[in-house]
């Protein structure tokens, strides 16, 4: 039986009125991911966020709902929820819903009146770190299930996993998936609410995610700082050495990654997808906050989509060894360390990529300098399997009911290592990877916000997908 549209919409809208104040509390907790807070356990912020979200979940009026907070030795906590099948849904079939509650660090540049741990509701936007990435996921997942119940609909057995290490590359997640394998079962549908959207006018479904490799390139040439007038010209600059090493892996003029291990052939269906999306929405690069006179790397709309999803890239995201400019004396510095972040095409092997990066950067160091690429971590990308006809219809129906327009697909430039792992573990599963991070929601950066109407509408759409999955 089809879900009653007004019942589902009214239920989700009313539920979200109560969710927003809880998200205010969540945003105020500085529970940054373990990579950015090695003392996360002692500081207690992660535990506070887990308690807040799991407490809300335990109070939900879902028959048979169980909520557990699990913590394997040496791992961040995991919230696991199980919901029995409802209506005509099969108890022998499973939907796995995923989100995370850890956050990126503060970053600089927040506008006056805003801050990472200062929740501010400005119209439809709830500002603060983590609301959209990805604190809302647990709330939206259970609310969608409740809405199916309220409308008298059906869903199969559901398992919800909310992890606490995603922003560190999900290092703890494989251990949990292995330990909970019997309880998770073999999902036929995976719903992940940690992705983005190109606009707020429809449901956007992610068909690919990039992988990643990160690590620190460190160059040492002398044991202490030297007078730059006395030593320069005789002692090479560690920054110049680092710059020359980066030229081995990246074309500085074009941004092209030069290592064949980091490049792949783009599948024809993904090229066609990018062309179709670009024909409708135009150039997505124009929405970024460029300074006057600056521009994207390419003006072609389809190539902009492919550049952010299927091209390998390098970003230098941090540096050590540099004094602040106002304290910079005339000293030739002894060491330069650069934190490198490589984004990999969805089908690129991250382990092979890591080995290639390390080998090329460390080989034959200029002037005999000490060069090391260390502290590396990596995660796989993901390329979606073919979408089943029932899911194509469900996505369009859910999006049309919630947003007034059918769904569209696109490749996302971010990384969710969990998806690559699940894709290998459950090759027969269907995937719905979606989210609320729109053009200027600015996840990981300053002024991050959650667009509340999109969160509500996406909750409605997920309810329809769950019901369609049970009826397929």
Q: Which residue has the higher pLDDT, 439 or 30?
A: 30
Where do the structural domains in the chain lie, given as residue ranges?
5-209+381-471, 222-264+310-379
Going by C-alpha positions, the residue among 422, 430, 425, 432 that lies closest to residue 458 is 432
Find the mean pLDDT for residues 28-51.
97
Residue 419 has a pLDDT of: 85
Show the beta-strand stretches assigned E in 103-181.
120-122, 125-127, 157-163
Indicate the pLDDT class of residue 307, thresholds 50, 70 and 90: very high
Find the mean pLDDT for residues 381-399.
95
Going by C-alpha positions, the residue among 55, 9, 125 that lies closest to residue 440 is 125
Indicate the pLDDT class of residue 387, thresholds 50, 70 and 90: very high
Rounded to whole angstroms, the Cα distance separating 168 from 160 reads 20
Token duo for residue 298: 């390419």
Residue 376 has a pLDDT of: 79
pLDDT at 418 over 80: no
Contact 129, 151 (CB under 8 A): no
Alpha helices, H only, 282-364: 301-307, 350-362
My answer on whether omega of the bond before 299 falls inside 30° of 0, hence cis, is: no
For residue 11, the Cα-to-chain-centroid distance in whole angstroms is 28
Find the mean pLDDT for residues 9-38.
97
Find the mean pLDDT for residues 371-398.
93
pLDDT at 44 over 90: yes
Residue 452 has a pLDDT of: 98
Alpha helices, H only, 1-89: 5-27, 40-43, 45-58
pLDDT at 372 over 80: yes
Least confident residue range of 76-80, 147-151, 440-444:
440-444
β pairing state of 430-437 and 189-196 = parallel
Dihedral over Cα of 90, 151, 15, 10: its sign: positive
pLDDT at 421 over 90: no
pLDDT at 172 over 80: yes
Find the mean pLDDT for residues 183-205.
95
Rounded to whole angstroms, the Cα distance separating 100 from 47 reads 13
Token duo for residue 444: 């990981």
Domains 5-209+381-471 and 222-264+310-379 share a fold: no
Buried b / exposed e over 403-419, threshold 16 CB at 10 Å, is beeebbbbbbbbbbbbb
Residues whose CB is less than 8 angstroms from the CB of residue 11 and which lie 6 or more positions away in sequence, other chains included: 143, 146, 147, 150, 151
Rounded to whole angstroms, the Cα distance separating 105 from 127 reads 15
Backbone angles phi, psi at 75, to 5 degrees: -115, 160
74: left (phi over 0), alpha (psi -120 to 50) or beta: left
Residue 316 has a pLDDT of: 98
For 261, 275, 377, the CA distances from 269, given in Å and listed in that order, are 22, 10, 30
Find the mean pLDDT for residues 315-333.
96
DSSP conformation class of 166: G
Fold of 5-209+381-471: Aminopeptidase (3.40.630)
For the chain, the helix, strand and coil percentages under 3-state DSSP, each to the nearest 5 = 40, 25, 35
Buried b / exposed e over 114-153, threshold 16 CB at 10 Å, is bbbeebbbeeebbbbbbbbbbbbbbbbbbbbbbbbbbbeb
Q: Which residue has the higher pLDDT, 197 or 421?
A: 197
pLDDT at 303 over 90: yes
Please, which residues bridge with residue 108 across strands? none
pLDDT digits (tens, 9 = 90+) for 13-22: 999 999 999 9
218: left (phi over 0), alpha (psi -120 to 50) or beta: beta
Residues whose CB is less than 8 angstroms from the CB of residue 395 and which lie 6 or more positions away in sequence, other chains included: 203, 205, 387, 406, 407, 432, 461, 465
Least confident residue range of 20-34, 110-124, 148-162, 266-280:
266-280
Residue entry with tokens 């609410």: 193
Residue 1 has a pLDDT of: 61
Find the mean pLDDT for residues 127-152.
97
Give the angle subtended at the CA of 121 by the CAs of 40 and 80, to the nearest 5°: 40
Residue 73 has a pLDDT of: 96
- The whole-chain average pLDDT of the chain stands at 95
Which of these CATH numbers, 3.40.50.300, 1.10.10.10, 3.40.1410.10, 3.30.70.360, describes 222-264+310-379?
A: 3.30.70.360
Whole-model pTM: value is 0.87
Burial environment of residue 433 by CB neighbours within 10 A (0 to 12, 13 to 18, 19 or more): buried
Residue 415 has a pLDDT of: 86
Q: Is 101 helix (H, G, I), strand (E, B) or coil?
A: coil
Contact 54, 135 (CB under 8 A): no
Percentage of the chain exceeding pLDDT 90: 91
Find the mean pLDDT for residues 264-274.
95
């Amino acid at each position: 039986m089809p879900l009653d549209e007004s019942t589902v919409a009214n239920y989700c809208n009313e539920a979200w009125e109560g969710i927003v104040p809880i998200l205010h509390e969540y945003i105020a907790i500085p529970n940054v991911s373990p990579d950015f807070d090695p003392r996360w356990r002692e500081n207690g912020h992660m535990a506070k966020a887990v308690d807040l979200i799991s407490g809300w979940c335990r109070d939900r009026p879902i028959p048979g709902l169980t909520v557990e907070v699990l913590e394997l030795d040496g791992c961040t906590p995991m919230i696991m929820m199980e919901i029995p099948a409802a209506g005509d849904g099969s108890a022998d079939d499973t939907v796995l819903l995923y989100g995370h509650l850890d956050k990126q660090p503060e970053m600089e540049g927040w506008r006056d009146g805003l801050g990472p741990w200062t929740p501010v509701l400005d119209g439809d936007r709830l500002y603060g770190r983590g609301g959209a990435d990805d604190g809302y996921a647990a709330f939206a997942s259970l609310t969608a299930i409740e809405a199916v119940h309220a409308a008298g609909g059906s869903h199969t057995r559901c398992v919800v996993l909310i992890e606490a290490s995603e922003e560190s590359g999900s290092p703890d997640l494989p251990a949990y998936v292995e330990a909970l394998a019997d309880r998770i079962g073999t999902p036929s549908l995976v719903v992940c609410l940690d992705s983005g959207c190109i606009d707020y006018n429809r449901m956007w479904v992610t068909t690919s995610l990039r992988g990643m490799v990160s690590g620190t390139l460190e160059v040492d040439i002398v044991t202490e700082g030297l007078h730059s007038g006395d030593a320069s010209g005789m002692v090479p600059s560690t920054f110049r050495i680092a710059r020359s090493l980066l030229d081995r892996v990246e074309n500085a003029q074009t941004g092209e990654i030069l290592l064949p291990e980091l490049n792949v052939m783009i599948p024809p269906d993904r090229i066609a997808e990018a062309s179709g999306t670009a024909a409708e929405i135009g150039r997505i690069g124009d929405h970024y906050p460029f300074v006057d006179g600056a521009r994207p790397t390419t003006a072609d709309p389809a190539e902009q989509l492919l550049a952010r999803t299927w091209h390998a890239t390098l970003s230098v995201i941090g540096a050590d060894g540099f004094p602040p400019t106002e304290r910079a004396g005339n000293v030739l510095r002894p060491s330069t360390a650069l934190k490198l972040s490589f984004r990999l095409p969805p089908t690129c092997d991250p382990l092979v990529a890591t080995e290639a990066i390390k080998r090329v950067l460390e080989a034959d160091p200029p002037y005999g300098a000490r060069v090391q690429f260390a502290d590396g971590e990596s995660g796989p990308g993901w390329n979606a399997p073919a979408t089943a006809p029932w899911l194509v219809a469900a996505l369009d129906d859910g999006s049309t009911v919630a947003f007034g327009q059918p769904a569209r697909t696109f490749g996302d430039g971010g990384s969710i290592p969990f998806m690559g792992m699940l894709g290998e573990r459950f090759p027969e599963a269907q995937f719905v990877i979606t989210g609320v991070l729109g053009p200027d929601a600015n996840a990981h950066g300053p002024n991050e916000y959650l667009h509340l109407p999109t969160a509500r509408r996406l909750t409605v759409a997920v309810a329809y997908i769950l019901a369609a999955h049970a009826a397929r």
